[in-house]
Amino acid sequence: MAEEAARFAIDALAAAGIDGATVVELGCGSGQTAARLGEAGHEVIGIDSSPHMLTLAREAAPKARLVLGSIHATPIPPCDLVLAVGEVLSYRFPGDEDASATALLDRAVRALRPGGMLVFDVAAPGRASGRGHVLGDGWAVLVDAREDRAAATLVREIVTFRRMGDAWRRSDEVHRLALLSPSGLAAHLRRRGLSARILRGYGAGELGLGWRVIAARARGGVRRAARPRS
């Protein structure tokens, strides 16, 4: 998905005639998307609340400017594209349980230059629930996802096992996501003067049940961003 999202963003910037764009990636994670954008000649500013993820991102995208902080509180600088891949706007962490997705989108819209874009995906009502597992060589991941339709939330309990010599190490995580309305978010962006489309994925394939991409663009003519002189 990171590869498809990066390609989608790169193609969208090219279609808009924006070279050497400034891209702000909210929840940049391990830096895979930032790395592809950087290879395509774009400047990436990544924001993530996990120091461990930023350590991985520095290895994957050494030219990106990485910022440790909450996406709901860290300032978004002027840019040509705001990108958030992997249900980033849906996640709720301790301290930002009441954070508003629309307030974050408003900050992103204000940061966009004329003709700039906003691309993100969200978990929506109906997001796939149930139990599943993934097995690898020396590791296993078990997931139990439960949707609370009344509260419009999804809770994922994730247990990871990793072989360590003759023993196994276990780690437990709980992910809480707000289930957001794609049509409501798209309408909100249109009221802010952007065009907005709801897509089933970043490429030819679909992301899955209750998982949608929103691609929006601010008003403004085609332009080409000036590349910094070396």
Structural tokens at position 58: 């520095």
| Residue 172, CA distances (Å) to 62, 143, 167 in order | 30, 10, 17
Whole-Å CA distances, 160 to 90, 157, 171, 174:
22, 10, 5, 12
Q: What is the DSSP letter of 88?
A: G
Q: Which tokens belong to 141? A: 């991941």
Distance in angstroms (rounded) separating the CA atoms of residues 34 and 42 = 9
Phi, psi angle pair for 115, to nearest 5°: 80, 5
Phi and psi at 163, nearest 5°, equal -70, 130
Element (H, E) at 27: none
Q: How many CB atoms lie within 10 A of CB 56?
A: 16
What string of DSSP letters covers 140-159?
EEEEEEEEETTTTEEEEEEE
Residue 222, pLDDT score:
53
26 token code pair? 């909210």
The whole-model pTM stands at 0.88
pLDDT at 114: 95
Q: Tokens 């798209």 — which residue?
A: 186
pLDDT tens string, the chain, 230 residues long: the values are 889 999 999 999 999 999 999 999 999 999 999 999 999 999 999 999 999 999 999 999 999 999 999 999 999 999 999 999 999 999 887 766 567 899 999 999 999 999 999 999 999 998 877 899 999 999 999 999 999 988 899 999 999 999 999 999 999 999 999 999 999 999 999 999 999 999 999 988 888 889 999 999 998 855 554 444 33
**Per DSSP, what are the bridge partners of residue 168?**
163
pLDDT confidence of residue 130: 87
